[in-house]
């Protein structure tokens, strides 16, 4: 049996930034990444307030929608909205995935090691956001 959870994270997609290492050798996560991970957690818990972390296999589908640049012509804007062209800019798809999956650790699932399949797409959209679908597979 598969249980499907959908939720949306508003705003421009963000990727997981590299940790900052101090002169003493201590590493810490940059503030921007911490704030975005908190937003991801908040969006999930608002959508599923009574959810208990899943202990089985998880499949994740992520669509990161970026704002259409104002410099695009009408033709190019239409192509962007119809997904004929994709945003070839930072953050990288793998960094977006890492940020989303790490944020949901202990909330949507016990650990992100339970995620056995990931599909991510970068696209343009009228409203920047990240759409997440989790398939929780019951065994």
Give residue limits of the domains in the chain.
2-137
Give the Cα separation of 70 and 41 in Å (integer): 31
Model confidence band, residue 126 (pLDDT cutoffs 50, 70, 90): very high
Q: What is the pLDDT of residues 63-119, one digit of tens each?
A: 999 999 999 999 999 999 998 999 999 999 999 999 999 999 999 999 989 999 999
Decide yes or no: CATH 1.10.1060.10 for domain 2-137.
no
**pLDDT tens sequence across 17-62:** 777 777 787 777 778 888 999 999 999 999 999 999 999 999 999 9
Instruction: Give backbone dihedrals phi and psi of 98, rounded to 5 degrees, phi first.
Output: -60, -45
User: What does the pLDDT read at residue 31?
Assistant: 82
Predicted pLDDT at 48: 96
Rounded-to-integer distance, Cα 33 and Cα 99, Å: 8
* pLDDT number for residue 18: 78
Q: What pLDDT, on a 0 to 100 scale, did the predictor assign at position 59? A: 97
């Amino acid at each position: 049996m598969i249980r499907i959870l959908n939720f949306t994270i508003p705003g421009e997609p963000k990727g997981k930034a590299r940790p900052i290492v101090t002169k003493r050798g201590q590493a810490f996560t940059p503030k921007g990444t911490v704030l975005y991970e908190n937003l991801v957690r908040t969006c999930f818990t608002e959508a599923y307030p009574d959810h208990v972390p899943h202990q089985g296999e998880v499949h994740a589908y992520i669509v990161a929608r970026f704002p259409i640049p104002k410099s695009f012509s009408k033709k190019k804007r239409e192509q962007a909205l119809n997904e004929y062209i994709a945003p070839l800019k930072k953050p990288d798809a793998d960094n977006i995935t890492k940020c989303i999956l790490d944020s949901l650790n202990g909330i949507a699932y016990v650990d992100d090691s339970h995620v056995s399949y990931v599909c991510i797409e970068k696209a343009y959209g009228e409203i920047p956001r990240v759409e997440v679908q989790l398939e929780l597979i019951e065994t």
